[in-house]
A and B are shown apart, each in its own frame.
Chain A
Amino acid sequence: MSTTGSTDQRSGQDEAADQEAATSQLSTAPSEERLNVPSLGPIGWLRWVWRHLTSMRFALILLFLLSLAAIPGSVIPQTDVDAIAVDRFKDDHTTLAPLYEKLQLFDVYTSVWFSAIYILLFISLAGCIVPRTWQFVGQLRGRPPRAPRKLDRMPVYTTWQTEAEADHVLATARTLLGKKRFRVHTAEGTDSVASEKGYLREAGNLLFHISLIVLLLAFGAGQLFKSEGGKLVVMGEGFSNTLTQYDDFSSGSLFTAQDLDTFGFTLKDFRAEYEMTGPQKGSARDYQADISYWEGAEGKPKDATVKVNEPLRVGESKVYLQAHGYAPKVTVRDGQGDVAYAGPVPFLQQDNNLTSSGVVKVPDYRDAEGRKDQLGFQGFFVPDFAPNSGTMFSQSPTLKNPQMFLTAYHGNLGVDGGPAQNVYRLDTSNLKQFKNDDGDALAERLQPGDTMKLPDGAGSLEFEGIEQWANFTVSHQVGNGWALAGSLLAIGGLAGSLFIQRRRVWVRAKKGRDGRTVVEMAGLGRSESTRLPEELAGLAASLYAEAPRPRADGQEAADRTAEPGRDAAAEPQQDEPHGEARPDDVPGARAEQAGDGGDSAPGEPRDGRARPEASGQQTEGERE
């Protein structure tokens, strides 16, 4: 230890204790005591575990584990994020997938092991915050520790002699420090002033950690009670917010159907603007849906516009516009000439120019002989078809030359019974494709108004026109406000914790042997980026102005002030060879070295014993 001299062990120890007291309580960080395996039975063990759990080192390990544990979720598809990708992955990796499933690797962020890490972390956090808060309150009620005996051992130090009376110097120092918003204290019968500043650092740090808990609770509540559903609405049609209406729906484990807000809307109009040139030609620049919505059981309809980034807020729900596309309007007649199906059929976007694919399923159908059968059409809708382009892909997302390419099947659609079916895909395993006269698969290109005739009088499909559709996500979230408040408070606390320095300044003034007053000032900061030397220099300059060095006979002012430290008791040498050699030094760089010294040298080891001694010191020094 740097403070222990080689010859005088005893005074070295006293000194160490003295300095420890001065350093103590500059932070509420948990002490870094050695945690030996206890031999105290169950209670001892519990205490041991708890101490470990709330130690900085354990928090560090947990943070590390948390960051590692988050990684797989970005590599392996997650059910919550993209369920379709998970299914695809399971199909492609038949050996890995079951293993992954066992390890909950498709649901990393809700998995037992991920939860275990962050729950432990937050237990640790809470177990750390509570004692730290009490300690901090104690520090606020207490007083800055009194000056150590040897001020020149402190990281930042200055001294000079003056004719001014010691009491006068101390009184001036008190006012000066008080004006600079230091907490000042002079213990009775001492020759020194103790002061401290920057408590906000600690407050900010605690606020930050508490806010993290608020944030986590809000996030957790949000996950448990959330719900999210998607609904595709064709223009002119409507939606009301009940479970059965959704195309797909997912919710947190504590969500119940009663949590759904009562509202609904109809899609009145949809407008989109597209990029017409450049490499991203075709991608939407802006789109918006005009809707009319009602709220509550008997709410009056109100008009609103939903845009990207601008959801509609109803109650606790938000309605987002997700995607849009075209829905060709078709009428299918059966072999008897009766209408078997009529209406717009949403086709799903395949590329930037809205080349879309879709199917028309006709489950109730009779063929030319009147036998029951089922029909299925599959194909593409192309809003801007260019016959000479050599491709059937759309040239732009606008309806410049809309065309539909269809093939037709009959047989078993598989819609009744069996696993739920994707309405946008045709399962052709039990279907037979219609053939044309040449024996090739029947495939036709249709313009609006065209009719596709099935062979042998099996019926027809008429392409009547085009409707637009929009896809909405309705999400119900709780705790958002809390999460936002928590995160903003966390940032505020963090700023306080990282930008504010906590530091102590002591001033001692006493009569020297020659009858003049020796003024000593010393500073100590815990944090690494303290600008303590500058600050102390500033304070010293102010104090010096009040209690300057006496005028030595016959000397000019400039001379006498050149080396004010000259006659000081512990005279430091100031002419360092390398001092000038760094012209563009960071002004604060040296200051930090000082802070570091304060951090490690006098206070080390910062173990559990530091605290009781410190509080003893405190009560002893406090009586005003």
Chain B
Amino acid sequence: MNIAAATNESLAEISNYLIYSAMAVYVLAFVGHIAEWTFGSRSKVARTAAALGKGATGAKARAANARAGEAGEGEESADAGAPSVKVKSGSSTTVLEPPKVVTRAGRRGDVPDGPGAAGGDVQGDMYGRIAVSLTVLAFLLHFAGVLTRALSVQRAPWANMYEFSTTFAMVAVGAYLAFLLAKKNVRWIGLPLVTTVLLDLGLAVTVLYTESDQLVPALHSYWLYIHVSLAIICGALFYLGAVATVLYLFRDRYETKLMSGGKPGGFATSVLERLPSSGSLDKFAYRINAAVFPFWTFTIVAGAIWAGDAWGRYWGWDPKEVWSFITWVAYAMYLHARATAGWKGRKAAYLALFAFACFLFNYYGVNVFFNGKHSYAGI
């Protein structure tokens, strides 16, 4: 018993060291991303302005742009991963290229995505790649830190705010790396993500730190695993969606300004120009939020089932439950807004941010300010 306790403590200590090391590497990745953005500012591509400004200004030009067959502004070609077709004729096999598929542009004509943080600059790109590699390394350390913490307490590593925060950041980074692996255009998230992960971990190891410990009896339930792990995954993904939404709002204003013939400031031109188009950012955020929403719903249901077993009622308007509910309604509102004329675009984006703010408050605010049944979570 004593020996076991001793190994536990040393494991917990190892976990702390790993988390600190991960933070150090995240700092390096942060520096790498900064270098990427800085070197990238040397490139002066203004393709957004070019795309938006080609025709005359105003709606007419856009309408024209959107017409297929015209000068080609309004279209994109996408052979979008179509399989090449093999045709056997007699003895020889020829590979047929499938016909090209043409897609018509969205609302705002055809605004191309920015070139990314490096802006096509070779040196910038190198720093960007270094930053991503460092992020991978930091993630591995981070993962090991969370794992050893879990082993030291022999349970899932999410029973208090310290553990929740470290795991949460880990999942967010993991999701980002997974998107990168899947060859999605997400490198632009790198800098904001690493920055906030550092903030989150900093907060975790200072303010929120809790010694590793066992669980109170109410937490002994496999629903804990389902409910809390899902909550963490949903939160991390919602977070990526929120980052994209914020960037969308900036980028959208930038494009609007360009379209109305205005001249955005130098910073905006340099930084926002390199982000994906507002359309792409918006879609990215929507896809994440929409995909996570059913899981968030299930998270709440799982929580209710667990509450039913532990406390005798599946729903009792405990502060945590109230705020989960508010978060859920807020995301439903966002999804509705997307399907309601006059609410798409910026308004829906504000709703998405409101929804994520509710999520954050549910996690930090409720634990700190309110004293509900969930308060064993411990700061």
Inter-chain CA distance A504–B326, complex, in Å, is: 36
Q: Does B62 contact A (CB under 8 A)?
A: yes
Q: Which of B87, B110, B185, B298 contacts A584 (CB 8 A)?
A: B185
Taking a contact as CB atoms under 8 Å apart, the answer to whether B309 and A310 are in contact is: yes
Please report which residues of chain B, range 55-108, place their CB below 8 angstroms from some CB of chain A when the two chains form the complex. Answer: 60, 62-63, 66-69, 71-72, 75-87, 94-107
In contact, A228 and B80 (Cβ under 8 angstroms): no
Q: Is A144 an interface residue (CB 8 A)?
A: no
B16, CB-defined interface residue at 8 Å: no
**A572–B83 contact, CB under 8 A?**
no
B68, A597: Cβ atoms closer than 8 Å: no
Q: How far, in whole Å, are A488 and B297 apart by their CA atoms in the complex?
A: 9
Residue in contact with B80 in the complex, picked from A152, A488, A587, CB distance below 8 Å: A587
Alpha-carbon distance A484/B303, docked complex (angstroms): 12
Bound-state CA distance A534–B95 (Å) is 19
- Mark out the residues of chain A between 525 and 553 whose CB falls within 8 Å of any chain B CB in the assembled complex: 528-529, 532-534, 536-538, 540-542, 544-545, 548
B185 contacts A589, C-beta separation under 8 Å:
yes
* B84 touches which of A4, A541, A593 (Cβ 8 Å): A541
Q: Which of B301-350 contact A (CB under 8 A)?
A: 301, 304-306, 308-319, 322-323, 325-326, 329-330, 332-333, 335-344
Are A586 and B280 within 8 A (Cβ)? yes
Tell me which of A67, A487, A529 contacts B304 (CB under 8 A). Answer: A487
Contacts of A2 in B (CB 8 A): 62-63, 66-67
Contact of B325 among A70, A584, A604 (CB under 8 A): A70
A137 at the interface (CB under 8 A from B): no
Q: A60-B340, A537-B79, A537-B81 are known contacts. Are A585 and B103 too (CB-CB below 8 A)? A: no
Contacts of A280 in B (CB 8 A): 213-214, 216
Measured CA separation A581–B337 after assembly (Å): 33
B340 A160 Cβ-Cβ under 8 A: no
Find the A residue at minimum CB distance from B71: A573
**A72 vs B154: C-alpha distance when bound (angstroms):** 38
Cβ-defined contact, B113 with A582, below 8 A: yes
- The secondary-structure label for the interface of chain A is mixed
Which residues of B are found within 8 Å of A226, using beta-carbon distances?
A: 313
CB distance from B110 to the nearest CB of A (A): 8
Other-chain contact of B358, A67, A284, A558 (Cβ < 8 Å): A67
Known: A495-B294, A576-B76. Contact between A601 and B99, CB under 8 A? no
Output the least CB separation between B121 and chain A (Å): 13
Asked whether, in the complex, the Cβ of B101 is within 8 Å of the Cβ of A156, the reply is yes
Q: Which of B17-25, B29-37, B190-198, B285-293 contacts A (4 or more CB under 8 A)?
A: B285-293
State whether B316 touches A80 (Cβ < 8 A).
Answer: yes
Tell whether A563 pairs with B313 under 8 Å between CB atoms, given A309-B221, A592-B283: no
In the assembled complex, the CB of B88 is this many whole angstroms from the nearest CB of chain A, namely 10
If the complex has contacts A528-B338, A572-B102, A593-B103, are A542 and B85 also in contact, measured as CB distance less than 8 A?
yes
CB contact list, A1-52 vs B, under 8 A: 1-2, 4-6, 27, 29, 32
A609 in the interface, Cβ–Cβ < 8 Å? no
Report whether A284 and B343 are in contact in the complex, using a CB–CB cutoff of 8 Å.
no
Q: Contact mask A264-286 → B, CB, 8 Å, 1/0?
A: 00000000000101111001111
B112: Cβ under 8 A from any A Cβ: yes
Interface residue? A83 (CB, 8 A): no
Give Cα distance in the complex from A10 to B140, angstroms. Answer: 64
Contact B325 A541 (CB under 8 A): no
Question: What 1/0 flags go to B144-186 for Cβ under 8 Å of A?
Answer: 0000000000000000000000000000000000001001111
A215 CB → nearest B CB, Å: 10
- Residues of A contacting B106 with CB < 8 Å? 592-594, 596-597, 600
Asked whether, in the complex, the Cβ of B218 is within 8 Å of the Cβ of A67, the reply is no
Cα of A570 to Cα of B70 in the assembled complex, Å:
9
B364 interfacial contact with A, CB 8 Å: no
Contacting residue for B104 out of A1, A66, A81, A594, CB 8 A: A594
By a CB distance below 8 angstroms, the chain A residues around B63 are 1-2, 4
Q: Which residue of A lies closest to B294 (CB)?
A: A494
Q: Which of A551-609 contact B (CB under 8 A)?
A: 557-558, 561-565, 570-574, 576, 578-579, 581-582, 584-587, 589-594, 596-597, 600-601, 604-606
Closest to B330 in A: A67
Looking across the interface, which residue of chain B has its beta carbon closest to that of A75? B370
Inter-chain contact total with CB atoms closer than 8 Å = 320
* In the assembled complex, A64 has its CB within 8 A of some CB on chain B: yes
Is residue B47 contacting chain A, with contact meaning CB distance below 8 A?
A: yes
Contact status of A586 and B184, CB under 8 A, knowing A56-B340, A537-B101: yes
Q: Is B5 in the interface zone, CB < 8 Å from A?
A: yes
- Asked if A315 is at the interface (CB within 8 A of a chain B CB), the reply is no
Our pick among A287, A498, A533 for the contact of B217 (Cβ within 8 Å) is: A287
The majority secondary structure among interface residues of chain B is mixed
In the complex, A405 has a CB within 8 A of chain B: no
Which of these, A307, A499, A582, A587, contacts B291 with CB under 8 Å? A499
- CB pair B68–A570 under 8 Å, yes or no, is yes
Choose from A219, A309, A605 the contact partner of B310 (Cβ within 8 Å). Answer: A309
Known: A56-B339, A279-B213, A584-B185. A73 touches B98 (CB 8 A): no
- Inter-chain contact B68/A541, CB cutoff 8 Å: no
A278-319 at interface with B (beta carbon < 8 Å): 278-280, 283-287, 307-311, 318
Q: Would you give the shortest CB distance from A239 to chain B, in whole angstroms?
A: 16
Cβ of A159 under 8 Å from chain B: yes
With A309-B220, A593-B105 already in contact, the answer to whether A538 and B309 are too (CB < 8 A) is: no
A473 at the B interface (CB under 8 A) = yes
Chain A: minimal CB distance from B379 (Å): 12
CB distance from B304 to the nearest CB of A (A): 7
CB of A534 within 8 A of CB of B81, answer yes
Q: A491-B297, A529-B283 are in contact. Are A574 and B102 (CB under 8 A)?
A: yes
Determine if A78 and B301 form an interchain contact, defined as CB atoms under 8 angstroms apart: no
Contact A561 B96 (CB under 8 A): yes
CA distance A4 to B67 in the complex (A): 10
A619 at the A/B interface (Cβ < 8 Å)? no
Taking A74-B322, A558-B95 as contacts, is the C-beta distance between A540 and B101 under 8 angstroms?
A: yes
Contacts of B330 in A (CB 8 A): 67
Contact of A593 with B5 in the complex, beta carbons under 8 Å = no
Complex: A154 Cα to B68 Cα, angstroms: 9
A320 interface contact, C-beta 8 A? yes
Check A71 for interface membership: any CB of B closer than 8 A.
yes
Whether, in the assembled complex, A424 has its beta carbon less than 8 Å from a beta carbon of chain B, the answer is no
Q: Judging by beta carbons under 8 Å apart, are B317 and A590 in contact?
A: no
Q: Is B249 an interface residue (CB 8 A)?
A: no
Q: Tell whether B279 is near chain A: CB-to-CB under 8 Å.
A: yes
Which of A330-338, A444-452, A475-483 lines the interface with chain B?
A: A475-483
A198 to chain B, nearest CB (A): 15
A109 CB–B CB distance under 8 Å: yes
Q: Any chain A CB within 8 A of the CB of B366? A: yes
Please determine whether B342 and A57 come into contact, CB atoms closer than 8 angstroms: yes
Asked if B225 lies at the interface with its beta carbon under 8 angstroms from chain A, I say no
Contact check: which of A284, A488, A541, A582 meets B216 at CB < 8 Å? Answer: A284
Q: Does A158 contact B (CB under 8 A)?
A: yes
Given contacts A70-B329, A541-B83, A601-B107, 19 further A-B contacts (CB under 8 A): A67-B358, A74-B366, A78-B317, A156-B101, A309-B220, A494-B294, A495-B294, A499-B291, A537-B82, A541-B85, A541-B98, A542-B85, A562-B97, A565-B99, A572-B75, A587-B81, A587-B183, A590-B80, A590-B103
Residue pairs across A and B with Cβ atoms less than 8 A apart, 23 shown, are A2-B66, A57-B343, A66-B329, A71-B322, A157-B104, A158-B99, A158-B102, A228-B313, A279-B213, A308-B218, A320-B312, A484-B305, A491-B294, A557-B95, A565-B102, A572-B77, A576-B72, A582-B112, A584-B184, A587-B183, A590-B76, A594-B103, A596-B283
9 pairs of A and B residues whose beta carbons are closest in the complex: A537-B82, A573-B72, A541-B98, A308-B217, A596-B106, A574-B77, A564-B99, A593-B106, A561-B97
Q: Residues of B at under 8 Å CB distance from A?
A: 5, 47, 51, 60, 62-63, 66-69, 71-72, 75-87, 94-107, 110, 112-113, 115-116, 120, 180, 183-187, 210-211, 213-218, 220-221, 276, 279-280, 283-284, 286-287, 290-291, 293-294, 297-298, 301, 304-306, 308-319, 322-323, 325-326, 329-330, 332-333, 335-344, 358, 366, 370, 372
